[in-house]
Structure 1
Amino acid sequence: MKGWPWLTAGLLGVVLGVLWTAQGLDLLGGSVMSGVTIWAVIGPIVAVAGLVLIVLGVRIRARSKSQP
């Protein structure tokens, strides 16, 4: 069970970050967020934070598997 919450939160962060970036850059239309520059800034920050959480989750899982 160890590590899964970090991996899940990280994956969610990456997906949301990419989505928000695409909306901010007006690549995805049909939203009040489309074409708003702030989302093109917030999106990559959230995506990088998600990647950090994924790395932490992988390390926690690897450490818990090596311990008896």
Structure 2
Amino acid sequence: MRGWFRLTLGLLAVVLGALWTVLGLGFVEGSALSDQRIWAMAGPVLVLFGLAGLWWGMRARRR
């Protein structure tokens, strides 16, 4: 069961970060986040944290 929590949080962060990026860039209309530059910048940062979480979770699973 080791590492599953980290993997889950990492995957959630990657998906949420990608969604924020798409919304912030204005590709999806009808949201309060649409065309907001802050979300276009925060999204990739969250994706990077999510990728780090995935890497950390995979390392924990290998041990």
TM-score by length of 1: 0.91
Say how many residue pairs are matched: 63
TM-score by length of 2: 0.98
Tell me the alpha carbon deviations over residues 41-67 of structure 1, each in whole angstroms, 9 at most, x when there is no partner: 00000001000000000000001xxxx
- Structure 2 portions without partners, runs of 5+: none
Percent same amino acid among aligned pairs? 49
Rg bigger for which structure? 1
- Structure 1 portions without partners, runs of 5+: 64-68
Q: Which aligned runs of 4 or more in structure 1 are off by greater than 6 angstroms? A: none
Indicate the RMSD between aligned Cα atoms, in angstroms.
Answer: 0.4
**Which residue matches 1:37?**
37
